[in-house]
């Protein structure tokens, strides 16, 4: 079952329900250019004495993971850094020793496949300033910039689910109708083959009745010859035999020595 990035964020937000959880967190002004880093998710532990920033890079595509070269920038922004992905998309041995891995199982539950090492960092003042200016209000749905965007996405997802259900149902109905048509075609072909087999066997019996052997190498010629004359094939064969014997007898009468030699 395909898991979207939005669903992964939702799972992580539940995992960090006791923390201050944000998504799409920048390390400063948009004008920073190449130095700008945007973490997919950041969880801030609500502790003054033991602060801990946990950053996440979310991947739902293998190609996206293989082609991403910016994620090392995120490590300097958090005490623990994780990749979060559907189960099996990324393997622990593909990551550096200090980077963790969270798998999202089929039941949409998080599983820490590899725990990230805690690193003592200098927390970024620019990132916190960005959070204060842009993300301080945490009362709204954490994955959308406004309630309007949230409800628009909700309606879009609802419509997509309805459309998907209609498409799946329609496709199944079409495929079942096609299978039924094929079964009927096969049944009709079988009936025709059975009928042809019966007629062929009847033809064999008729040919045998009239002295024709359908299994001989020249059966077609014999059949054509038999159908081309009104005289029965057996009569012609018997006549030819009598004629041959008569000629032999006549030859023996004319040449008595043949009888003596006999």
pLDDT tens, 241-253?
766 766 776 676 6
The answer to whether the CB of 82 falls within 8 A of the CB of 54 is: yes
Percent of the chain at pLDDT above 70? Answer: 70
- Pairing type for strands 99-104 and 80-86 reads parallel
- Which pLDDT band holds residue 89 (cuts at 50, 70, 90)? very high
12 to 9, 26, 40, 142, 260: CA distances (angstroms):
5, 18, 11, 11, 120
pLDDT: is 246 or 17 the higher one?
A: 17
Tell me the whole-structure pTM to 2 decimals.
0.51
Query: What's the whole-number average pLDDT of the chain?
Result: 80
Cα(209)–Cα(25) distance, rounded to whole angstroms? 96
Average pLDDT of 20-35?
79
User: Quick one: pLDDT at residue 192?
Assistant: 84
Structure tokens at 29: 């002004």
Q: Render pLDDT for 49-78 as a digit per residue (tens, 0 to 9).
A: 889 999 999 999 999 999 998 899 899 999
User: Quick one: pLDDT at residue 163?
Assistant: 67
User: Quick one: pLDDT at residue 230?
Assistant: 63
First to last CA, the chain: 98
Q: Where does residue 116 rank: exposed (0-12), middle (13-18), buried (19+ CB within 10 A)? A: buried
Q: Where does residue 22 rank: exposed (0-12), middle (13-18), buried (19+ CB within 10 A)? A: buried
Cα(3)–Cα(84) distance, rounded to whole angstroms? 11
User: Quick one: pLDDT at residue 209?
Assistant: 75
Cα(116)–Cα(247) distance, rounded to whole angstroms? 113
Domain limits of the chain?
A: 5-143, 145-228, 229-261
DSSP state string for 162-197: HHHHHHHHHHHHHHHHHHHHHHHHHHHHHHHHHHHH
Task: List the single range of 88-102, 149-163, 195-209 with lowest mean pLDDT.
Answer: 149-163
């Amino acid at each position: 079952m395909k898991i979207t990035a939005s669903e992964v964020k939702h799972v992580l937000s539940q995992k960090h329900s006791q923390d201050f959880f944000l998504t799409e967190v920048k390390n400063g002004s948009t004008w920073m250019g190449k130095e700008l880093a945007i973490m997919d998710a950041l969880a801030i532990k609500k502790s003054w004495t033991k602060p801990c920033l946990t950053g996440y890079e979310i991947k739902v595509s293998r190609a996206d993971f293989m082609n991403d070269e910016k994620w090392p920038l995120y490590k300097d922004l958090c005490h623990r850094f994780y990749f979060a992905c559907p189960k099996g998309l990324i393997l622990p041995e593909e990551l550096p020793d200090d980077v963790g891995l969270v798998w999202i199982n089929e039941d949409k539950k998080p599983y820490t496949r590899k725990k990230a090492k805690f690193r003592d960092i200098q927390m970024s003042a620019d990132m916190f300033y960005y959070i204060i200016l842009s993300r301080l209000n945490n009362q709204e749905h954490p994955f959308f910039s406004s309630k309007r965007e949230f409800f628009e996405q909700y309606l879009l997802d609802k419509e997509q689910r309805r459309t998907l259900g209609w498409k799946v149902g329609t496709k199944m109905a079409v495929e079942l109708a096609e299978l039924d048509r094929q079964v009927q075609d096969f049944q009709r072909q079988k009936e025709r083959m059975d009928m042809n087999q019966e007629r062929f066997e009847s033809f064999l019996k008729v040919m045998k009745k009239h002295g024709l052997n359908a299994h001989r190498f020249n059966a077609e010629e014999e059949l054509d010859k038999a159908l081309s004359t009104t005289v029965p094939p057996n009569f012609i064969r018997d006549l030819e035999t009598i004629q041959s014997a008569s000629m032999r007898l006549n030859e023996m009468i004319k040449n008595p020595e043949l009888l003596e030699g006999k």
